[in-house]
């Protein structure tokens, strides 16, 4: 990856050249701002137990793609807002994503020992600490939104968007449905898609909506961003399933074909590899079409959508 300093990004924003940046360069610059913000948000006062703070930083500051916070910043910018204003929401989205990974990895859930090549949180620390680190991150996400999203009038909508996407009819419900479906060999494509919409799609859509709100988006634009987020989310899941079938263990840093080994149904197992690819392309077209009304400023969002189905890691 090309290293791009904050100054260069600032200059690019100032000169309105950001739409012309190459996507990887742009994402690298966004990620630097996000990492910086995540480090700041996890400098806890001394009344936070040290082991708990360490456990949170271990997972939150681990290397990651930072897809959700990048989408928050990109949506904000695509709506004409400043990246700086969207950083608290970006941080909150990554915290919610990170908490969900910590809890999903627990022995009572997916029982994973490795994530991206490192011991999972409960292996590195212990189960109680991992449960509390997840609880703490989820709580911190809302604290950051409430404390730093401005103007204060949009905080309620941002909190509600995030809570609805992460809650029992969203991500948490999706994880429950996913666990229940694990033993079900007769799952249909609509059922699988309904699980992924809740488990992945809604949080991606919330990333776009929060960025949009902070960028001053009108209700019609928020609807467009929501469709983009849900569609990219599903395409992302299909791409993940395909990598799981076709990928190599060393590339993923986790056990490949693990999902298939658990008897889980995936897109390739239900649709075949070629039809899964076609479905992913169709979703990406849908995503790009939805944000067409945003005009030239949507360039990076379009590029990211296309990238999702081309990536190999």
Closest CB to its own copies among residues 36, 139: 139
CB of 74 to its own copies, least distance (A): 24
Closest CB to its own copies among residues 44, 307: 44
Torsion of CA 213, 219, 225, 230, to 10 degrees: 110
Q: Is 123 a residue that touches its own copies (CB under 8 A)?
A: no
Closest CB to its own copies among residues 125, 236: 125
Q: Is 292 a residue that touches its own copies (CB under 8 A)?
A: no
CB neighbour burial string for 165-193, b if at least 16 within 10 angstroms, e if fewer = bbeeebbbbbbebbeebeeeeebeeeebb
Q: Is 61 a residue that touches its own copies (CB under 8 A)?
A: no
Q: Is 190 a residue that touches its own copies (CB under 8 A)?
A: no
Kindly state the number of chain residues that form the binding site for its own copies, as judged by CB under 8 A. Answer: 55
Q: Of 19, 23, 62, 146, which one interacts with its own copies (CB under 8 A)?
A: 146
Q: Which residues pair with 71 in a beta bridge?
A: none
CB of 121 to its own copies, least distance (A): 12
CB of 67 to its own copies, least distance (A): 21
CB of 259 to its own copies, least distance (A): 17
Stretch 80-119 residues interacting with its own copies (CB under 8 A): 99, 103, 106, 108-109
Q: Of 23, 53, 271, 273, which one interacts with its own copies (CB under 8 A)?
A: 53
Binding residues for its own copies (CB under 8 A): 44-45, 47-49, 51-53, 56, 99, 103, 106, 108-109, 126-129, 131-132, 134-136, 138-140, 142-143, 145-147, 149, 152-153, 155-157, 159-160, 162-164, 166-169, 172-173, 175-177, 179-180, 194, 198
């Amino acid at each position: 990856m090309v290293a791009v300093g904050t100054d260069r990004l600032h200059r690019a924003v100032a000169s309105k050249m950001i739409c012309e940046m190459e996507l990887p360069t742009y994402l690298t610059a966004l990620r630097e701002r996000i990492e910086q913000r995540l480090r700041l948000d996890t400098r806890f006062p001394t009344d936070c137990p040290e082991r708990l703070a360490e456990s949170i930083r271990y997972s939150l500051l681990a290397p990651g793609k930072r897809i959700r916070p990048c989408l928050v910043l990109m949506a904000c910018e695509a709506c004409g807002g400043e990246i700086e204003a969207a950083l608290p929401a970006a941080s909150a989205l990554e915290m919610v994503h990170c908490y969900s990974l910590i809890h999903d990895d627990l022995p009572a859930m997916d029982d994973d020992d490795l994530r991206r090549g490192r011991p999972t949180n409960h292996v590195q620390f212990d189960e109680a600490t991992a449960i509390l680190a997840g609880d703490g991150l989820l709580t911190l996400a809302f604290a950051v939104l409430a404390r730093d999203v401005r103007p204060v009038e949009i905080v309620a909508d941002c909190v509600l968007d995030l809570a609805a996407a992460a809650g029992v009819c969203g991500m948490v419900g999706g994880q429950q449905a996913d666990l229940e479906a694990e033993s079900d060999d007769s799952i249909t494509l609509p059922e699988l898609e309904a699980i992924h919409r809740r488990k992945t799609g809604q949080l991606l859509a919330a990333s776009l909506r929060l960025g949009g709100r902070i960028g001053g988006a009108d209700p019609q634009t928020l609807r467009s961003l929501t469709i983009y987020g849900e569609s990219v989310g599903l395409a992302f899941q299909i791409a993940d399933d395909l990598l799981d079938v076709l990928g190599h263990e060393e590339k993923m840093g986790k056990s490949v074909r693990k999902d298939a080994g658990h008897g889980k149904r995936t897109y390739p197992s239900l649709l075949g590899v070629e039809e899964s690819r076609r479905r992913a392309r169709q979703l990406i077209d849908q995503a790009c079409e939805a944000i067409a009304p945003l005009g030239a400023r949507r360039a990076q969002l379009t590029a990211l959508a296309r990238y999702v189905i081309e990536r190999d890691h």
